[in-house]
């Protein structure tokens, strides 16, 4: 296969699976709460509906408001090409490793927060302020956990990280790996705006974070942001599963390998979805100022992971 | 070649000198003085840019000596790679700032002070060039002091404000305390080398061991640390930088504090000899603390220029993280890693100069248009000043370390050096590297938060005051000055791999390795961490992918979006009668969550007084007051100041105020010194 086919395949897979994951989580959560819940492909229908509609732009907004959805969507799409998904070699792994992934997602968030402020409504400012705060204090926990993995693999390149783990299938049982997984899982919860940090289903002023920021977006712009958000969620999940459990990753880009890789990948993502749903249904949303404590726990887990690399 | 470098170098110096004299002479006609001041400065800066660029790649150092006829003092200039690199930073920034100043200084026309400003501005450029290129300690100190004097006069340019005068005095006192340390440090070095030439210091550096090494390290760290604004020696910086006119602030934050970094690089890597492990550890730790506390205090500022000044402290910290890691790698015997860390620090020095210069010029344009630096009174400027807003946004993205601009590249290199550091030693020290890395990540994320606030509150949504509502875009020269720096930010970001050979000369001189070939892969498109497997990033590739992936939204648009209309409607106002600027989020509110999370550091104190007539639920007026603790000023400097004042009061006994008494003191001191000199 030439150089472009893997990129195209992985991009399409990411774009298609991302909304599905959101749908699966929603449906599963409803089942856990003994509700019927929406169908799992409801997110596709929503995207279709939003893309078809017209949109309302606030009269206070500038060009930045319109640029934001593109930046959010494009950064998430680009990042999805830097992570090994079904094959060990990520199509764009040469263009950036885990640091580029974290910083590109931060670029998307930077614009999203500015988009929130651009509307002039207090909800936007509130959401921006909270989102930036929480992601800032999630950052050291995320980095320390990532460093633990990168040090073990001697590389920040995610394909190299996955390669170094192949053949040591039980490596995830090492204390440092388990602790780092715990830390990154908490960061995943915080970064994707899940209970107990944020509630993706609410529009109540006092509690919402992400939804407050994008309150003024509608139509195709909202579709881009929603799709970008689900892409980002899937990217972080992929980072988690393929870094710690690189089972079934195809060593190269051939059809059977990809098919097997995809099967394994979907299973792993499904398990992570179950974990998220478990956390979301068994916890209540935290007060905003309790969130730093949770993230401090994540940081301590990450730091312990690092120190246990040193010990073992 | 060297002859040409010399013509350009001294031509540049002459142009600065001519600019200083010409603007003083023509001071009566402000317009002429302004044009001459900026014109000569631009010419000088361009010449210096050319000469330092050529000197960077020259086969041997360009070196000139002009004897002064006094023992010890030789006016000797040496454009070795390190000097040439810092002179390049200075002259690059000076070109942009001088172009900007043509428009920025226009309001001075008719006030009779443009000549004085022009004199000190060119003098500052001249002495900065001398500081970076002097290779004799005596001459260096002369240049250092004239730089401090010129900077003082520029800081206190708007001396009618009480706070400006206080800021100037604080800068002056701190700066001189630092110079005192430098003088002792150079004398110590002189006792080993028996010469005041820098080359002699470097040659005799191996003799420096034990307590003497520690003393030299401490003295120079204090002396240069004050100028660099390292925490806890930073307290003058957030006062002095905002007080100066904005073009001067840009030069101060961009270059003047970098003289401290230059001095540290010189001493730590050339004069100190083989560095002990504690030296690198201290520099790294101080860097991390400066970076983190700098950004945390920046977050609490609503004064645009003070906010930027605190970010200078943060970025100096990031530079020092690179330097500290580099020193530790030298001690641990990894010259290649040391080179990567040093390149990271030096590259960040240039990057910070460019984007901080840009941001200060942007803040100056805002100040020029609205006459306020208070963010709570700004807003909506993106429509009124579109170009300034765009350039400020680029600067904000760069300083937050976001790809694909230049701040990201140097921070990425710093991360790579820190990560590789874990494997360099078996001792517990190695945990320091990843911990420093994660705190650097926190710093960068907080910086992004701070610049969402700074840009969002200043430029977006509705204007919060009449001044902001009436703002207008600034003139062509100011826009051009900002545009140049913004373009450099983009170029250094996307073209980082092509810029790296600049550091080859420096790392070869200091560490004996050339890294640019190893740090660049895939035909120049990819930056690597030095090893084939380590890690790669391509800012140019990321930028290209942005363009390619834009096909996706375009496709979505074609498939779905053609039917929908765009309606421009008011923002949802919760059913209130219309949204006003008072409904907007403020800078103060934006940083509230962080103020609560880091309450242990800030110790915020607030006071609310409501006045009411009938019921507390219907207040007629509310007064809200809030402040945060400033621990360094209150706990460290206030007692110190008290102590010094007490000693000064005690010393007053011998200060009779009579010139005869002072002459007698000088005479007695001279005799005592002569006696001591003869005896030894």
**Mind listing the pLDDT tens digit for each residue in B445-470?**
999 999 999 999 999 988 999 998 99
Do residues B617 and B652 both lie within one domain? no
Per cent of chain B over pLDDT 90 is 59
Contacts of B585 in chain A (CB under 8 A): 117, 122, 124-126, 128-129
Q: What is the reported pLDDT for A233?
A: 95
CB proximity list for B224: less than 8 A, separation 6 or greater: B178, B182, B259, B260, B261, B263, B264, B267
Note whether B191 contacts A: Cβ–Cβ < 8 A: no
Per cent of chain A over pLDDT 70 is 96
B83 within 8 A of B133, measured Cβ to Cβ: yes
Question: Average of pLDDT values for B64-81?
Answer: 85
Q: How many CB atoms lie within 10 A of CB B658?
A: 9
The answer to whether the Cβ–Cβ distance between A78 and B546 falls below 8 Å is yes
Note whether A198 contacts B: Cβ–Cβ < 8 A: no
Encoded tokens for B388 = 């300034």
Question: Average of pLDDT values for B296-320?
Answer: 94
Note whether B474 contacts A: Cβ–Cβ < 8 A: no
Calpha distance A15→A227 (Å, rounded): 8
Question: Average of pLDDT values for B525-534?
Answer: 79
A102 within 8 A of A83, measured Cβ to Cβ: no
DSSP B537: E
Note whether B333 contacts A: Cβ–Cβ < 8 A: no
Under the banding of pLDDT at 50, 70 and 90, the label for residue A2 is low
Candidate from A96, A140, A292 with C-beta closest to B542 = A96
End-to-end CA distance of chain A: 42
B353 within 8 A of B405, measured Cβ to Cβ: no
Q: Which chain B residue has its CA at the smallest distance from A124's CA?
A: B585
Q: How far is B519 from chain A (nearest CA, A)?
A: 13
Under the banding of pLDDT at 50, 70 and 90, the label for residue A161 is confident
Within a domain: B494: yes
Q: What is the ipTM of this complex?
A: 0.95
The answer to whether the Cβ–Cβ distance between A119 and B571 falls below 8 Å is yes
Candidate from B397, B537, B591 with C-beta closest to A100 = B537
B394 within 8 A of B358, measured Cβ to Cβ: yes
The answer to whether the Cβ–Cβ distance between B536 and A292 falls below 8 Å is no
CA triplet B674, B678, B680: central angle to 5 degrees?
120
A269 within 8 A of A237, measured Cβ to Cβ: yes
Do residues B468 and B604 both lie within one domain? no
Do residues B623 and B655 both lie within one domain? no
Lowest-pLDDT choice from A59-73, B296-310, B646-660: B646-660
The answer to whether the Cβ–Cβ distance between B431 and A307 falls below 8 Å is yes
Q: What is the reported pLDDT for B18?
A: 95
Give which of A51, A209, A207 is closest to A130, Cα–Cα.
A209
CA triplet B663, B668, B671: central angle to 5 degrees?
125
Dihedral over alpha carbons B338, B343, B345, B346 (to 10 degrees): 140
At A27-50, the pLDDT tens digits run: 999 999 899 989 999 999 999 999
Give which of A294, A308, A311, A309 is closest to A141, Cα–Cα.
A294
Under the banding of pLDDT at 50, 70 and 90, the label for residue B310 is very high
Q: How far is B568 from chain A (nearest CA, A)?
A: 5
Under the banding of pLDDT at 50, 70 and 90, the label for residue A205 is low
At A76-116, the pLDDT tens digits run: 999 999 999 998 888 888 888 899 999 999 999 999 999 99
Within a domain: B580: no
A226-237 in b/e burial notation, b at 16+ Cβ within 10 A?
bbbbbbbbbbbb
Note whether B443 contacts A: Cβ–Cβ < 8 A: no
Task: Establish whether the linkage from the previous residue to B404 is cis, with ω within 30° of 0.
Answer: yes
Q: What is the reported pLDDT for B489?
A: 95
Do residues B486 and B603 both lie within one domain? no
Q: What is the reported pLDDT for B285?
A: 95
Note whether B383 contacts A: Cβ–Cβ < 8 A: yes
Do residues B448 and B470 both lie within one domain? yes
Q: Which chain A residue has its CA at the smallest distance from B412's CA?
A: A99
Calpha distance B455→B362 (Å, rounded): 11
Under the banding of pLDDT at 50, 70 and 90, the label for residue B680 is low
Q: What is the reported pLDDT for A312?
A: 58
Within a domain: B368: yes
Task: Return residues 588-627 of B near A (CB < 8 Å).
Answer: 589-594, 596-597
- Residue B349 Cα distances to B24, B85, B285, B310, B315, angstroms: 33, 10, 18, 16, 8
- Position with higher pLDDT, A201 vs B323: B323
Q: Which chain B residue has its CA at the smallest distance from A156's CA?
A: B535
Residues of the domain holding B251: 1-208+232-259
- What three-state secondary structure class fits B605? strand
Under the banding of pLDDT at 50, 70 and 90, the label for residue B577 is confident
Phi/psi for B630 (5° steps) reads -115, 90
Do residues B337 and B477 both lie within one domain? yes
State the DSSP H helix or E strand holding residue B609, giving kind and residue range, or none if neither: strand B605-612
Note whether B564 contacts A: Cβ–Cβ < 8 A: yes
Note whether B461 contacts A: Cβ–Cβ < 8 A: yes
- Looking at the structure of chain B, the number of domains it has is 4
Do residues B320 and B418 both lie within one domain? yes
Note whether B429 contacts A: Cβ–Cβ < 8 A: no
B275 within 8 A of B327, measured Cβ to Cβ: yes
Calpha distance B497→B526 (Å, rounded): 7
Do residues B396 and B315 both lie within one domain? yes
- Tell me the three-class secondary structure of chain A, residue by residue: CCCHHHHHHHHHHHHHHHHHHHHHHHHHHHHHCCCCCCCCCHHHHHHHHHHHCCEEEECCCCHHHHHHHHHHHHHHHHHHCCCCCCECCCCCHHHECHHHHHHHHHHHHHHHHHHHHHCCCHHHHHHHHHHHHHHHHHHHHHHHHHHHHHHHHCCCCHHHHHHHHCCCHHHHHCHHHHHHHHHHHHHHHHHCCCCCCCCCCCCCCCCCCHHHHCCCCCHHHHHHHHHHHHHHHHHHHHHHHHHHCCCCCECCCCHHHHHHHHHHHHHHHHHHHHHHHHHHHHCCCCCHHHHHHHHHHHHHHHHHHHHHHHHC
Last residue of a domain, one of B470, B490, B512: B512
Within a domain: B165: yes
Do residues B126 and B250 both lie within one domain? yes
- What three-state secondary structure class fits B273? coil
Within a domain: B496: yes
Contacts of A107 in chain B (CB under 8 A): 397, 402-403
- Tell me the three-class secondary structure of B454-482, residue by residue: HHHHHHCCCCCCHHHHCCCCCCHHHHHHH
Q: What is the reported pLDDT for A10?
A: 93
For residue B537, the cross-strand partners are A96, B527
Do residues B201 and B299 both lie within one domain? no
Is the full-model pTM beyond 0.90? yes
Do residues B606 and B643 both lie within one domain? no
Do residues B107 and B23 both lie within one domain? yes
């Amino acid at each position: 296969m030439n150089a472009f086919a893997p990129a195209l395949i992985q991009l399409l897979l990411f774009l298609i699976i991302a909304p599905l994951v959101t749908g699966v989580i929603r449906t599963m959560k409803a089942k856990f709460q003994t509700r019927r819940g929406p169908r799992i492909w409801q997110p596709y229908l929503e995207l279709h509906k939003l893309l078809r509609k017209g949109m309302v732009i606030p009269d206070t907004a500038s060009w930045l408001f319109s640029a934001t959805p593109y930046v959010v969507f494009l950064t998430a799409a680009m990042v999805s090409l830097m992570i090994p998904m079904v094959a060990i070699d990520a199509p764009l792994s040469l263009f950036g490793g885990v640091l580029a992934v974290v910083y590109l997602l931060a670029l998307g968030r930077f614009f999203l927060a500015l988009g929130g402020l651009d509307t002039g409504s207090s909800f936007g400012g509130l959401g921006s302020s909270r989102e930036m705060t929480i992601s800032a204090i999630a950052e050291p926990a995320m980095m320390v956990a990532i460093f633990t993995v990168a040090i073990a693999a001697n590389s920040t390149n995610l394909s190299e990280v996955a390669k170094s783990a192949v053949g040591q299938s039980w490596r995830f049982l090492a204390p440092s790996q388990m602790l780092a997984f715990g830390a990154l899982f908490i960061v995943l919860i915080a970064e994707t705006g899940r209970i107990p940090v944020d509630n993706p289903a609410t529009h109540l002023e006092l509690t919402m974070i992400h939804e407050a920021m994008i309150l003024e977006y509608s139509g195709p712009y909202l579709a881009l942001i929603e799709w970008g958000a689900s892409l980002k969620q899937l990217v972080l999940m992929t980072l988690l599963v393929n870094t710690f459990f690189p089972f079934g990753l195809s060593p190269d880009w051939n059809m059977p390998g990809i098919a097997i890789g995809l099967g394994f990948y979907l299973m792993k993502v499904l398990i992570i979805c179950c974990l998220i749903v478990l956390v979301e249904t068994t916890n209540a949303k935290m007060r905003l100022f309790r969130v730093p404590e949770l993230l401090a726990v994540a940081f301590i887990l990450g730091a312990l992971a690092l120190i246990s690399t040193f010990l073992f | 070649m060297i002859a040409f470098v010399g013509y350009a170098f001294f031509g540049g110096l002459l142009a600065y000198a001519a600019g200083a004299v010409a603007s003083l002479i023509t001071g009566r006609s402000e317009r002429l003085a302004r044009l001459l001041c900026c014109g000569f400065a631009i010419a000088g800066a361009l010449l210096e840019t050319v000469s330092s660029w050529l000197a960077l790649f020259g086969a041997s150092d360009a070196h000139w000596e002009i004897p002064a006829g006094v023992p010890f003092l030789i006016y000797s200039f040496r454009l070795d790679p390190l000097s040439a690199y810092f002179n390049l930073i200075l002259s690059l920034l000076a070109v942009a700032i001088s172009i900007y100043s043509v428009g920025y200084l226009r309001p001075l026309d008719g006030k009779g002070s443009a000549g004085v400003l022009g004199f000190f501005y060119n003098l500052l450029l001249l002495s900065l060039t001398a500081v970076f290129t002097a290779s004799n300690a005596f001459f260096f100190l002369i240049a250092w002091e004239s730089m401090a004097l010129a900077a003082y006069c520029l800081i206190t340019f708007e001396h009618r404000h009480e706070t400006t005068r206080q800021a100037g005095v604080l800068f002056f006192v701190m700066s001189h305390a630092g110079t005192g340390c430098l003088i002792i440090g150079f004398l110590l070095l002189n006792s080993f080398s028996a010469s005041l030439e820098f080359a002699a210091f470097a040659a005799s550096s191996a003799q420096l061991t034990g307590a003497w090494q520690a003393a030299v390290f401490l003295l120079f760290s204090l002396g240069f640390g004050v100028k660099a604004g390292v925490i806890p020696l930073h307290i003058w910086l957030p006062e002095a930088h905002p007080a100066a006119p904005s073009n001067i602030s840009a030069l101060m934050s961009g270059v003047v504090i970098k003289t401290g970094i230059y001095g540290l690089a010189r001493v730590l890597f050339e004069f100190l000899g083989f560095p002990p492990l504690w030296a690198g550890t201290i520099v790294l730790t101080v860097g991390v603390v400066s970076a983190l506390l700098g950004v945390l205090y920046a977050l609490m500022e609503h004064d645009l220029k003070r906010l930027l000044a605190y970010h200078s402290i943060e970025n100096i910290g990031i530079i020092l993280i690179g330097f500290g890691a580099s020193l530790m790698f030298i001690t641990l015997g990894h010259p290649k890693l040391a080179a990567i860390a040093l390149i990271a620090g030096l590259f960040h020095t240039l990057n910070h100069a460019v984007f901080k210069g840009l941001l200060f010029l942007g803040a100056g344009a805002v100040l020029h248009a609205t006459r306020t630096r208070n963010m709570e009174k700004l807003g909506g400027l993106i429509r009124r000043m579109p170009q300034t807003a765009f350039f400020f946004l680029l600067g904000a993205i760069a300083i937050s370390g976001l790809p694909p601009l230049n701040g990201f590249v140097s921070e990425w290199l710093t991360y790579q050096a820190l990560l590789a550091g874990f494997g360099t030693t078996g001792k517990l020290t190695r945990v320091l590297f990843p911990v420093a890395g994660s705190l650097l990540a926190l710093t960068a994320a907080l910086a992004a938060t701070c610049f969402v606030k700074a840009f969002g509150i200043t430029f977006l949504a509705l204007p919060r005051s009449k001044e902001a509502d009436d703002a207008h875009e600034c003139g062509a020269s100011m826009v051009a000055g900002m545009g140049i720096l913004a373009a450099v930010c983009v170029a250094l970001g996307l073209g980082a791999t092509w810029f790296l050979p600049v550091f080859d000369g420096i790392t070869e001189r200091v560490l004996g390795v050339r890294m640019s070939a190893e740090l660049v892969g895939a035909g120049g498109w990819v930056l690597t961490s030095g090893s084939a497997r380590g890690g790669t990033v391509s800012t140019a590739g990321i930028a290209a992918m942005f363009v390619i992936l834009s096909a996706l939204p375009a496709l979505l648009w074609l498939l779905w979006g053609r039917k929908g209309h765009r309606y421009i409607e008011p923002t949802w106002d919760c059913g209130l009668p219309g949204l006003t600027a008072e409904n907007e989020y403020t800078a103060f509110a934006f940083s509230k969550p962080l103020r609560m999370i880091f309450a242990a550091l800030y110790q915020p104190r607030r006071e609310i007084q409501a006045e009411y007539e009938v019921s507390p639920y219907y207040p007629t007026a509310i007064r809200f007051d809030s402040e945060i603790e400033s621990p360094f000023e209150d706990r460290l400097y206030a007692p110190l100041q008290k102590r010094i004042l007490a000693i000064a009061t005690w010393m007053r006994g011998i200060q009779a105020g009579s010139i005869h008494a002072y002459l007698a003191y000088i005479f007695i001191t001279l005799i005592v010194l002569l006696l001591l000199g003869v005896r030894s």
